[in-house]
Structure 1
Amino acid sequence: MLQLILPVLLSSLWAACAGSGDWCYQSQFSCTHQCNEKWDHANQDCGGSKQSPINIVTRKTIKDERLTPLKFSNYQQIFKSSIKNNGHSVQVGVPHLSTISGGDLPTTYKAVQFHLHWGNKGGPGSEHTIDGEQYPMELHIVHMKADYADLTTALRDREGVAVLGFFYEVSNSANRKYDPIITSLQSIKAANGNMSLPSISLAQLIPSEQNMTSYFRYKGSLTTPGCTEAVIWTVFENPIPLSMDQLKAFSELKFSDGNPLVGNFRPIQPLNGRKVFRSSGAVVLVSSALLLATLAAALGLSQPN
């Protein structure tokens, strides 16, 4: 009888805790904070079959010769904007001057905004993972097709949005190119905090073009509600270096509920039969067991003397 009653009690507890509040990350959910971390309850599109992020298993990716280096236009352009703590991330608007094309993208896409996802004080926090490895933080530069006037319209097109994803790694020294952003974080700790950002360029935030030839490509969705499945994802292999202090600075921000803004990443979503492609420069990792077996066979160690 207890086995029958317990699931009912747990279900009731979930209903009491979850309420009908706004969506939230798993790091936020508690009975004192009634928010919806089951996103498909908040928006049915979040339960779709082509959701993001995913775990990229490199040995299962398919090499695609069409995935040539992307062409970046006006990424060196210096621009002024504002930086905002929107209650679940840090976001910066980008003038539509910067564009990407090539790399088997169907057309030219113009930059709209960039935002970040991170862990807790430099801990694991990226949305995408590579062979199960979660990086400390991930940058998303959001673009829409150049002939659209706004992101809402672009999201009605199944290929209307192209997002570039970049990982971060811990460096022994600070990345001074990020000083304008890191310094600004002190002034936008509270949700809806907003301030002018010193002049920057997109190029200063990402690797050099020579170091962006290795990437993965798949079709997915936005990683926040409404989770619209209209995104061509390009996830770059080479991470961006930041010092531990720089990474920890993001954990000083606050969610809308006033708690530390940490762990603002969506869990990995099922691939559901989708193919993940890789550029010719992307590295394919093999398991250590398979590598040892291959080496043993090559050295003649797999057969007894």
Structure 2
Amino acid sequence: MKKQSPINIITKKAQIDTRLNPIKFEGYDGPDTDVEWTLKNNGHSVQVTLKGNIAIKEGNLPNTYKAIQFHYHWGTESDPGAEHTIDGEQYPMELHIVHQNEKYNSLADALKHSDGLAVLGFLFVESPERNSNINDLINALKLVPHSGNSTQLKSFPLNKIILDQKKLDKYYRYDGSLTTPDCNEAVIWTVFAEPIPISRSQLNAFPKTLFFSDSKPMALNFRPVQKLNGRTVFVSDSAVRSLSAAGLSVVLAVWTSILFN
């Protein structure tokens, strides 16, 4: 297999693709309030199975993709656990929102095709302040500590747990795979350039509350980075402009310091 995930994204080698326009998020701002989602400890992560009309399209995706579930990967109380790395840096945690191509009737069918799934990857960065948008989910972890445990969650707007709208047009794109067995090479990956802030206590809630199927604390539940094998990683023009502006700001700050000190 030549298109495995996750990967290390080398920002300087990412190629600008002007077709990577902003992704259109449908239903992310508020699903049917009568719908309940299932939160489950599946033995290797905590997963929320989604219901309702939630989908993504555009952003050079070949079709509309319906959201089916989301889950997290994390480390320990002292070690990071995101799956994708950026220029070799591993972030504390990563959120994956999995979407299925609407032209396929089932997940099993979608997994047979290279365009079967579109997964959105969001990285987290430690912050001194708590992220109130993820509190309800973290509080529900204690209801599913052991493998096989599940509970019902009242649905909520998915845009609460991701980046602000203005930051969603900055992302990387590549062809890859699922990061759990059978690691099907059926995923169009979108990894967002900016991380989501979360406090250390919130990060620690995952390894301290959840347990693997063998009853050991659920920690370091990430797959190591895989070889790129000649694949191209693309980057949206918005992300490049943002990174360039950040670099220019640093240069200006340095020169200002030199000139006036």
Q: What TM-score comes out, normalization by structure 2 length?
A: 0.89
Question: Do the aligned residues in 1 keep the contact of 2:207 with 2:219 (CA within 8 Å)?
Answer: yes
Structure of greater relative contact order (alpha carbons < 8 Å, 6+ residues apart)? 2
Matched residue type, 2:224:
P
Measure how far apart 1:96 and its partner are.
Answer: 4.7
2:212: which partner in 1? 255
Counterpart in the other structure of 1:234: 190
In structure 1, list runs of 5 or more residues that go unmatched. 1-47, 296-305
- The answer to whether the 8 Å contact 1:96/1:112 transfers is no
Structure 1 partner of 2:128: 172
| RMSD value, Cα | 1.9
- Give the number of the structure whose residues are more often strand, by fraction: 2
Deviates more, 1:226-235 or 1:141-150: 141-150
Contact map agreement 1:86 1:191 (CA 8 A) in 2: yes
Q: Give the whole-Å Cα distance in 2 for the aligned partners of 1:174 and 1:198.
A: 22
Deviation at 1:123, TM superposition (A): 2.5
Structure 1: distance between partners of 2:92 and 2:133:
18
Alignment partner for residue 115 of structure 2, among 159, 183, 188?
159
In the other structure, the counterpart of 2:224 is: 267
Contact 1:96/1:110 (<8 A) preserved: no
Classify the secondary structure of the residue corresponding to 1:249: helix
The structure with the largest alpha-carbon Rg is 1
Hey, which bits of structure 1, 4+ residues long, moved more than 3 A?
none
Which residue of 2 is the match for residue 60 of structure 1? 13
Cα distance 1:211–1:122, how it changes in 2: closer, same or farther (>3 A)? farther
Alignment match of 2:176 (pick from 220, 223, 234): 220
| Structure 2 unmatched runs, 5+ | 255-261
How far did 1:126 drift?
0.4
Q: After superposition, what is the alpha-carbon deviation per residue over 1:214-267, rounded to whole angstroms, capped at 9, x for unaligned?
A: 100000000011010010000001111111111000002100000010000001
CA deviation profile, 1:153-187 (whole Å, cap 9, x unmatched): 11112111100000011111111111111001111
1:87-166 to structure 2, matched below 5 A, reads 87-121=43-77, 123-166=79-122
The whole-number CA distance in structure 2 between the counterparts of 1:161 and 1:66 is 19
Partner deviation per Cα, 1:6-57 (whole Å, 9 max, x = no partner): xxxxxxxxxxxxxxxxxxxxxxxxxxxxxxxxxxxxxxxxxx1100000000
User: Within 5 A, what are the aligned runs for 1:25-40?
Assistant: none
SS of the aligned residue for 1:218 comes to strand
In the alignment, structure 1 residue 281 sits paired with structure 2 residue 234: no
Do 2:38 and 2:50's aligned partners in 1 also have CA atoms closer than 8 Å? no
Distance in 1, Cα, partners of 2:105 & 2:75: 33
CA–CA distance in 2 between the matches of 1:218 and 1:128?
A: 12
Residue deviations 1:65-90, cap 9 Å, x none? 00011000111123421211111000
How many percent identity over aligned positions? Answer: 50
- In 2, the alpha carbon distance for the partners of 1:82 and 1:112 equals 11
TM-score by length of 1: 0.76
Structure 2 CA distance, aligned partners of 1:152 and 1:242?
A: 34
SS at match of 1:173: coil
SS of residue in 1 equivalent to 2:155: strand
Q: How far apart are residue 148 of structure 1 and its match?
A: 2.4
- Aligned mates of 1:221, 1:158 — CA distance in 2: 9
| Alpha-carbon contact 1:56-1:276 (below 8 Å) kept | yes
CA separation in 1, counterparts of 2:176 and 2:22?
21
